[in-house]
Amino acid sequence: MRQLIHLIFLLSCFAWFTGCETPQSGSGSASTGGGADSFQVQDNPLLTNVSRGEDVGKNLNRLMEGPTVDHCPNCPIPDSQPEASGARVNDSTLMSNYTKLGGDPVALEQALCFANKYKRTKFKTSGEGYSNGIGIDNQRYITINDLNKSSNEKRLFILDTQTGQVSVYQSGHGSGTKGGKSNSKERSTHFSNTDGTSLTPSGFFITGNKYTSTKEWGTGMRLHGLQPGINDNSMARGIVLHKAPYVAAGVARSSDSSVKIGGSTAGRSNGCTAVSPSHVGEIMGKLASGTEGRHPYRGGSLYYNYSPAEKNKGRSYCGNPVGTK
């Protein structure tokens, strides 16, 4: 019986080795010969070690411990499953790098709480194609747009949860009026979920797909508001992230030996988040769903417009209420 179990295990390992489509030359593969009988193997240490004649038993023991690398980089990801986001760094590393750039610890604690609590949740959202809801499918990045800060400071923080690195950029906010008082260029003191107000909505969002606009900013990235009464009207309002010439270039990174947070005052939008044309490609490339041409209705990453209202809720605030499926 033990021999039969061992045979089944060997056959399953063999199936694991050969389950992926053989890559074409030039795609990062290693050849085991040059003739008609030659074959190629993936750049997986487990596979290449076997091809070099190393002890198969050692490799099987490593397989029992679980693969440490993506064994099938060319296999398609099923539409029902989120993108693999890799191992996450310790939260203390993120916090250290975030606060180095002037980040508010309260905002990050709230964002991490939301990300952990709702990482497998499907949220209600408007728009054709989202009848099954939308999830946080790109879990590598978290964005905190700290609208407690002045627009003459870098305040749009992008946190890489795999590497722990943090980058921060300047951003523009909505120009609207509330109670007879308009937001100044420097500070956003008013927020709204109502169409026609030209005010930025606060709270938690999931970034959506990129699209091309006929307006002056060209490419935009959709924002799906997750909180009823706070930002769930964002898609209908056309609230997006886009480039604007009135936002200055400049980025500070946690890996920099010295950082500069200050800059020139940004202009105002009609409620959208505006960023510098110099950085819009880098920002969208990290945050968007990244599924154009394959499955445009999947979600992107967690995005947080952190306003005075959220700041006043304290460290324990976790984004309630949310509109779930």
Supply the pLDDT for residue 73. 33
Closest CA relative to residue 269, chosen from 171, 168, 154, 163: 171
Residue 67: is its pLDDT beyond 60? no
Helix (H, G, I), strand (E, B) or coil at 29: coil
**What whole-number distance in Å separates Cα of residue 83 and Cα of residue 76?**
10
Least confident of 16-25, 95-104, 114-123, 234-243: 16-25
Residue 164's pLDDT band (boundaries 50, 70, 90)?
A: very high
DSSP state of 22: P
Q: Which two tokens stand for residue 253?
A: 């990174």
- What single string gives the DSSP state of each residue in 196-210? TS-----EEEEEEEE
Q: Taking all residues of the chain, what is their mean pLDDT, rounded to a whole number?
A: 78
pLDDT above 90: percentage of residues in the chain: 60
- Assess if CATH 1.10.260.40 describes domain 91-312: no
**What whole-number distance in Å separates Cα of residue 182 and Cα of residue 82?**
41
Residue 264: is its pLDDT beyond 90? yes
Residue 228: is its pLDDT beyond 80? yes
C-beta of residue 154 within 8 angstroms of C-beta of residue 263: yes
Residue 188: is its pLDDT beyond 80? yes
Supply the pLDDT for residue 88. 87
Supply the pLDDT for residue 2. 54
> Can you tell me the mean pLDDT for 129-155?
93
C-beta of residue 170 within 8 angstroms of C-beta of residue 252: no
Helix (H, G, I), strand (E, B) or coil at 290: coil
The number of residues making up the chain comes to: 325
C-beta of residue 141 within 8 angstroms of C-beta of residue 287: yes
Write phi, then psi, for 156 (nearest 5 degrees): -95, 100
Least confident of 24-38, 195-209, 290-304: 24-38
Residue 67, preceding peptide bond in cis (omega within 30° of 0): no
pLDDT tens-digit series, residues 98-126: 999 999 999 999 999 999 999 999 998 87
Q: What ranges do the domains of the chain cover?
A: 18-75, 91-312
Strand arrangement, sheet containing 166-169: 251-253, 166-169, 156-160, 141-146, 302-306, 203-212, 219-225, 240-243, 273-275
More confident residue, 159 or 214: 159
Residue 45's pLDDT band (boundaries 50, 70, 90)?
A: very low
Supply the pLDDT for residue 95. 98
Q: Is the dihedral of CA 43, 46, 47, 52 positive or negative?
A: positive
Q: Quickly count: other Cβ atoms within 10 Å of residue 255's Cβ.
A: 13
